[in-house]
Amino acid sequence: MGTRLSSLDLAFLGLESQRTPVNVAALQIFEIPKGYKGNFVRDLIARMMELEAGPPFNVKLSSTSTLTLPSWVHDDEFDLGYHVRHSAVPKPGAMKDLLEVVSRLHSRIMDRERPLWEFHVIEGLQNRRFAVYFKMHHSAVDGMGGVAILEGCMTQEPTEDLRAPWQELPKRKKAGFDWNPVRAMSSVVDGALHQLNMGRDVGKLLLGHGSKLIGLQPADSPVPFTAPKSIFNVRISGARRFLTTEMSLSETKLLAKQSGASLNDVILAICGGALRRYLLDKQALPEQTLVATVPVSIRHINRAGNAITYVGAKLGTEVEDPMQRLLEIRRSTHQAKAEVSEVEPDAAITFAVMAQGIVGVMNKLGLHDLLPPPANVVVSNVPGPRHELYFGEAKLLANYPMSVLVDGQALNITVMSYCDTIDFGVMACRHTLPDVDVLGDYLQQAKADLEKAVARTGGAARARRKKAKKLRRLSTVKKKKAG
């Protein structure tokens, strides 16, 4: 008997087509150990091929028919060599050549007759480096689950034993069988109450969005399917372009502290500033703010499957001043987080399934050109490891996330932290955004602009406090003289 897919997992399967592969991936850059004798990459692959695969890597879909609901079942003909692939970039091994290779790999859908993952080891990079491009279908894993899988095969010391990401995940300890009629009846009652509460909470989310839509309550956070039309919200091609850039995590955290915002708000503000500049260059900036879909993890234990929901956040692209943009984003995310925190996790996931279902129907019927988009862009922030990691003695230098595009959403910005770096992975439709490379410079410029704005605001605040202190001191002196 197989493991059933959740409703959200099934929704990700339903979104896929030849033009819209629903793959999530990581592009990792490693440094070959100094003084290594021989071909390190070839030797590493040989060692990994000796390690057996376990769930969820040796399971496949039970059925590829659209008429039956699939489940995950063991692949009796599992072939590790099919999933692990070795290639190289042409000399001199520039980063742009690597990005071109992985852009093409990310454009391809995977064979549903096999387990839905691929592990590409790519050598030939400059400065004694190699890359790993590891992708899985989004129905099998979400961002936080992917981080857990990758961390599980990494070590904190280069001398520790090698683990492959496809080795079996540690199992949770199961309790022994101890049937009790009172406990069984209580479980049934708890389950029924849970379903009632979940239905109530889903209704609460829908009612809240309806109230904002008709003006009965403030709409600081956006209502789904009310975003403005933009050049990002079109039918996409099957080809992809991938861009990477990096920022200092400690500097960005300091910026968040100085501005009184969260790290996620600052990242959204940087993205909003970059997208504003890009759209101004195209003379295509909507008067209304762009809206971002922001995935929110509600994962607790499992590393396979999906445990996420979505909130909407304004990006303040209609605002010229970076500080005012950040304040608008902070108000937006504060309300969105409050709405999700007031409901059960299962209700939040159900709401995400409903949203994905509507997007799927829109795409199947070609309605994304006729209806307002649910959001303009996806911006996702995935916390990663804060300590250095190694993979078979090779030091991990960078970890760039790669995500999904669908019709009506030609741009996805996903960031992941590693040590003191924030790694940006920008995925774009090659046809819609052929010049996506400029966004790397725009993201850096948006961060610099926000730093200047926060410094000005902080300087003005310090001047006001200094003036108020001086006035209080003069007032005290006058009172003493009067006395």
Residue 391 has a pLDDT of: 94
Write down the catalytic residue from 106, 120, 138, 368. 138
Which pTM was predicted?
0.81
Residue at 115: amino acid letter: P
CA–CA separation, 351 and 309 (whole Å): 7
Strand order, beta sheet including 390-391:
84-88, 117-125, 129-137, 23-31, 394-402, 390-391
Token pair of 207, please? Answer: 């009612």
Q: Which residues contact 90 (CB under 8 A, 6 or more apart)?
A: 97, 124
Average pLDDT along the chain: 81
Residue by residue, DSSP assigns 108-132 as SPPPTTS-SEEEEEEEEETTTEEEE
Residue 139 has a pLDDT of: 84
Identify whether the C-beta of residue 39 lies closer than 8 Å to the C-beta of residue 54. no
Judging by beta carbons within 10 Å of its beta carbon (0-12, 13-18, 19+), is residue 370 exposed, middle or buried?
exposed
DSSP state of 368: G
Residue 69 has a pLDDT of: 82
Residue at 268: amino acid letter: L
Residue 11 has a pLDDT of: 78
Helix (H) or strand (E) holding 379: strand 377-382
SS3 240: strand
CA–CA separation, 129 and 139 (whole Å): 31
Name the nearest CA neighbour of 127 among 87, 100, 94: 94
Residue 230 has a pLDDT of: 96
DSSP state of 306: -
Residue 306 has a pLDDT of: 47
Token pair of 482, please? Answer: 């009067």
Scanning 84-180, the segments in alpha helix (DSSP H) are: 95-106, 143-153
Is 431 a residue of the active site? Answer: no
Name the nearest CA neighbour of 238 among 66, 84, 427: 427
Identify whether the C-beta of residue 12 lies closer than 8 Å to the C-beta of residue 112. no
Name the nearest CA neighbour of 237 among 424, 21, 15: 21
**How many CA atoms lie within 13 Å of 7's alpha carbon, on the beta-carbon side?**
13
Please report how the helices 263-281 and 438-482 are oriented relative to each other, as an axis angle in degrees rounded to 10: 120
Token pair of 295, please? Answer: 């995935």
CA–CA separation, 165 and 56 (whole Å): 10
Instruction: Enumerate helices (H) and strands (E) in the chain, giving the number of each.
Output: 11, 15
Name the nearest CA neighbour of 356 among 430, 306, 315: 306
Could you give the domains of the chain?
Answer: 3-153 (3.30.559.10), 199-386+398-460 (3.30.559.30)
Cα–Cα distances in angstroms (integers) from residue 15 to residues 62, 67, 195, in the given order: 18, 16, 27
The low-confidence residues of the chain, meaning pLDDT below 70, are 1, 64-67, 142-145, 169-220, 297-309, 339-368, 370, 459-472, 474-483
For residue 331, the tally of other CB atoms under 10 A from its CB is 17
